[in-house]
Amino acid sequence: MGLRVLRRRILITLFLTLFLVFSLSFRLAWLQFWRGPELRVKAQASSTYAVPVQARRGDILDQKGRILAISMDMDSLWANPNEIPPEEVDRVAAALAPLLKQDEKSLQKKLATPSAFVWLQHALPDETATAIRKLELPGIHFTRETGRVYPEGMLAANLLGFATVFHAFYGVEQYYDKELKGEEGKILLKRDGIGREIPETTHEYIPPKDGLNLKLTIDATIQFICERELDRAMESTHAKAAYAVAMDPYTGAVLCLAQRPSFDPNHYSDYPQETYRTQAITDSFSPGSTFKPITAAAALEEGIIRPETGLYDSGAYTVLGKTIRNWNGVGLGPTTFATAFAESANTVFARLAVEVGKERFYRYLEKFGFAEKTGIDLPGEVTGIRPRQDKATDLDLAIMGFGQTLTVTPIQMAAAMSAAVNGGKLYTPHVAAAFLDQEGRVVKEIQPEMKRQVISEETSAMLRRLMARVVDEGTGELAQIPCYPVGGKTGTTQKVVGGKVGGAYIASFVGFAPVEKPRVVLYVAVDEPQGMYYGGQVAAPLFQAIMRDVLRYLDVPPQCGPEDLPVEVPRQDLVETPNLVNLPLAEALSAAREAGFLAVIQGDGGIIARQVPAAGAKVPKGTPILAYTDGSSPAEGDLRTVPDLRGQTVREAARILHLMGLRLEMDPDSTGVGVAQDPPPLKKVPPGTAVKVVFRPPGEAEEGSANQSP
């Protein structure tokens, strides 16, 4: 019995031993063969730590190779807290805090973290890095990273965006971040069980892959011209914002994309965040009369009308019980479509849109790209807004026909106008021209992308001639450039705020030059100009100033001989108004005249008590100064005396009324001199009253009377 029990125990022990040996063998085999690679990686990871090595971010160049954004090597600071003795943490933090301009307690917390790697600060200035090295602090290390620098400051800032060490924001920096940033490298260091670096061990270096350089379609000189003129327009009009988009109509390449206000990407944190956006693609507004060429294109392409087609414009067009009127009431009378186009008759374009019909009108909206994003290679693009086709009425069509009740972006308008004048081909706008490696070799070239044929070449040619007439003899006369045939269209749009039409305006102009073979299409807009706000008076001169210098820069030959070139008139600089306050009338008139100003005396007193503009205000030389005598200075809410505006140009009338606290009301595309007004001269009215003035070309002005109502 005892022997049998002993045998049983021996067998059980043997069985258990064999089972244990088999289990351990299986476990070892499983760990070695099945999980071996995984465990080797974990073991290596636990005994090593990686110091990241940033790739060099690619440069951004203009089309001529001029650097707009560049990356420069800088020292970045990191710490290995495991190498810092606990009793040294406070001393190290106290030494670093003033140099890094960081809170000492925050640094203490970082340096006491149970970790082998903690970032302290990126992209240190050279003098700071040198000072830290001299301290020879334990556990403190450096690595090289690249910091972003924009050599041209604010130039093309909204197009470029900006980049930090880890992220890219806005513009091409964000859109092409993957291509520009490259691939990060690393240095692998060995460490012991408590995280300390093992001296004299082999460090593995995995080099970074540098990013590609990006060449843009933007020309820095053209961009500079656009931004310079926007600055001048902002100064002279005190506008809320201004935009300019220039494009090669035959490729969709963007030559300039500028806006004001803007920011300096080298110091982006000093500027409001709303200045970062590329508003030419992120904001939309009603195009106004700049949209009329699109309505004309649809009607011409469908054979509904031709430039020489005779019309009778009564000055009013009624649709669904609502009457659309022209500014002069009686309209153009017997005329042609070419003349109606040049004179920007709303009634004619309203009728055309209705005749084109809803289905065809919406089809042309889609063909010209107003129903979709243009596809430009920049982030944040939006589409415009228009009435739903299934809900649109003939009244909607009529109003859209002259550019209201729908919104577009500046880039959509520039692309559509390019298609209208280049033979009918719609191209995708683009700002990237090519990607280059660090040796300057082309890795990828961006080819023009034609989306579709929108209209025929014949229709496009008719549009070019119609728009040339607008500049030659219509509402766009201030866009004329000596010896360069120019085509274009003015626009004045009353802004909609909170779903309601407000009192602010956007003045715009879209045009091209030369007429028969356009080199450049340019769209400009001035948002909420103060005083004068009409496209023909505010935006057309802005277009002219930009286009003139761009054509010269591109060496586009003038189409006239040297003897035909007019003498250049220097740009009118802003001058300070003289101080007329407390002067007797005779002295005030003399002082104003000597300074180059006209003083308009208000009141019967003998001493000047107040003047508008105030003394020292910077205004164009010749601006009228309203000088109020003692006892006549208008307090808030007092009545104003309506001036006689007979014989005054649109610009002069608007300036005088603005200075008196009154508003000018007229047809947006009017030209010539004042012939009639309501209220009449000398009538007393409250501040802010609108004075409706009829303007006619000088030859017709003699037939009018300043005392007539429009």
Domain assignment present for residue 16? The answer is no
- Please determine, for residue 112, whether its predicted confidence score (pLDDT) is greater than 70: yes
Find all residues with CB under 8 Å of 624, minimum gap 6, and list them.
597, 598, 599, 600, 652, 655, 656, 659
Which residues, 6 or more positions from 145, have their beta carbon under 8 angstroms from its beta carbon? Answer: 54, 73, 74, 75, 76, 122, 123, 165
Q: Which residues pair with 582 in a beta bridge?
A: none
Phi, psi of 407 (to 5 degrees): -125, 155
Higher local confidence (pLDDT), 581 or 302: 302
> Residue-wise over 474-484: b if at least 16 C-beta within 10 A, else e?
bbbebbbbeeb
pLDDT-based confidence at residue 179 (cuts at 50, 70, 90) = very high
Binned at pLDDT 50, 70 and 90, residue 473 comes out as confident
DSSP structural state of residue 124: E
pLDDT level of residue 637 (50, 70, 90 thresholds)? very low
pLDDT at 622: 55
The string of DSSP codes covering 515-557 is SSS-SEEEEEEEES-SS---IIIIIHHHHHHHHHHHHHHTTPP
**Measured distance CA(498)–CA(30) in Å, rounded:** 70
Q: Residue 193: inside a domain, yes or no?
A: yes
Residue 475's nearest CA partner among 293, 313, 307 is 293
Q: Are residues 692 and 644 in the same domain?
A: yes
- Cα distance between residue 156 and residue 164, in whole Å: 18
Are 113 and 227 found together in one domain?
no
Q: Pick from 510, 146, 484, 123: which is nearest to 294 by CA?
A: 510
As for how many domains the chain has, the answer is 3
* 392 shares its domain with 369: yes
Q: Which helix (H) or strand (E) holds 339?
A: helix 337-342
Question: Which of 289, 344, 460, 670 is the catalytic position?
Answer: 289
Q: What is the CATH number of the domain that holds 77?
A: 3.90.1310.10
| Residue 11 placed within a domain | no
- Boundary residue ending a domain (212, 231, 259): 212
So what's the pLDDT on residue 312?
86
Structure confidence at residue 710 as a pLDDT band (50, 70, 90): very low
Q: Residue 687 and residue 662: Cα distance in Å, rounded?
A: 6
The mean predicted confidence, pLDDT, of the chain is 83
455 and 511 housed in the same domain: yes
Whether residue 159 contacts residue 166, with contact meaning beta carbons closer than 8 Å, is answered with no
Secondary structure (3-state) at 277: coil
Residues 6+ apart with CB under 8 A from 592: 578, 580, 598, 599, 625, 627
Q: Are strands 690-696 and 663-665 parallel, antiparallel or unpaired?
A: parallel
Q: Does one domain contain both 426 and 368?
A: yes
> Which CA distances in Å does 500 have to 290, 405, 503, 527?
21, 12, 10, 17
pTM over 0.75: no
Residue range 233-246: mean pLDDT, rounded = 94
Q: What share of the chain is helix, strand, coil (3-state, %, to 5)?
A: 35, 25, 40
The pLDDT value given to residue 633: 42
Statement to judge: residues 380 and 318 lie in one domain: yes
**Beta-strand (E) ranges in 125-219?**
140-149, 162-163, 168-169, 185-190, 204-206, 213-216
424: domain CATH number is 3.40.710.10
3-state secondary structure of 250: coil
Looking at beta carbons, which pairs linking 105-113 to residues 24 or more positions away fall under 8 Å?
110/79, 110/81, 111/79, 111/81, 111/84, 111/139, 112/81, 112/86, 113/81
DSSP string for 439-484 = TS-EEEEPPP-EEEE-S-HHHHHHHHHHHHHHHHHSTTGGG-BTTB
Q: How many CB atoms lie within 10 A of CB 489?
A: 36
Same domain for 194 and 57? yes
The whole-angstrom separation of Cα 145 and Cα 128 is 15
Neighbours of 223 (CB within 10 A): 24
pLDDT at residue 532 in the model: 77
Structure-token pair, residue 517: 């073979």
Among 205-219, 567-581, 685-699, name the one with the lowest average pLDDT: 567-581
Query: Does residue 398 belong to any structural domain of this protein?
Result: yes
Nearest to 536, CA basis, from 392, 695, 414, 423: 695
| Whether residues 545 and 585 fall in one domain | no
Q: In whole angstroms, what is the distance from residue 487 CA to residue 304 CA?
A: 23
Assess whether 477 and 583 both reside in one domain: no
Identify whether 17 is part of a domain: no
- Greater pLDDT, 16 or 478: 478
Residue pair 651/629 in contact (Cβ under 8 Å)? The answer is no
Express each pLDDT in 647-659 by its tens digit: 777 767 776 775 5
Residue 297, in any domain of the structure: yes
Q: Evaluate whether residue 32 is within a structural domain.
A: no
Same domain, 420 and 395: yes
**Amino acid identity at 264:** D
pLDDT surpassing 90 at residue 480: yes
- Structural domain that includes position 612: 575-701
Q: Which three-class secondary structure string do you get for 32-98?
A: HHHCHHHHHHHHHHHHEEEEEECCCCCCEECCCCCEEEEEEEEEEEEECHHHCCHHHHHHHHHHHHH
Distance in angstroms (rounded) separating the CA atoms of residues 296 and 303: 11
d(CA 317, CA 346): 9
Verify whether residue 262 is a known catalytic residue.
Answer: no
Locate 377 and state its tokens. 């290679």
Share of the chain above pLDDT 90, in %: 43
Last residue of a domain, one of 528, 560, 592: 560
Q: Residues 402-459: pLDDT tens digits?
A: 998 899 999 999 999 999 999 999 999 999 999 999 888 999 999 999 999 999 999 9
Question: Between 389 and 671, whose confidence is greater?
Answer: 389
Nearest to 693 by CA among 659, 658, 644: 644
> Rounded distance, CA 213 to CA 196, Å?
39
| Single-letter code of the amino acid located at 685 | V
598 and 544 in a common domain: no
User: Which of 560, 592, 626 lies at the terminal end of a domain, its last residue?
Assistant: 560
Chain segment 519-540, per-residue pLDDT in tens: 999 999 999 998 778 888 899 9
Examine the pLDDT at 113 and tell me if it is beyond 70: yes
608: domain CATH number?
Answer: 3.30.10.20
Split at pLDDT 50, 70, 90, the class of 706 is very low
476 and 280 Cβ atoms separated by less than 8 Å: no
**Site of tokens 């640094």:** 107
As given in the structure block, the two tokens for residue 475 are 């509402």
pLDDT tens digits, 45-81: 555 666 667 788 899 999 999 999 998 777 888 888 8
In this structure, the number of other CB atoms found within 10 A of the CB of residue 532 comes to 21
For residue 490, what pLDDT band results from cuts at 50, 70 and 90? very high
What is the predicted pLDDT for the residue at 166? 74
- pLDDT given at position 635: 39
Task: Find out whether 252 and 412 touch, Cβ atoms under 8 Å.
Answer: no
Residue 110 has pLDDT above 90, yes or no: no
pLDDT at site 704: 38
- Shared domain check, 446 and 483: yes
Tokens representing 560 are 């006239």
Lowest mean pLDDT among 100-104, 118-122, 378-382, 667-671: 667-671
**Inside any domain, residue 20:** no
For residue 568, the model assigns a pLDDT of 41
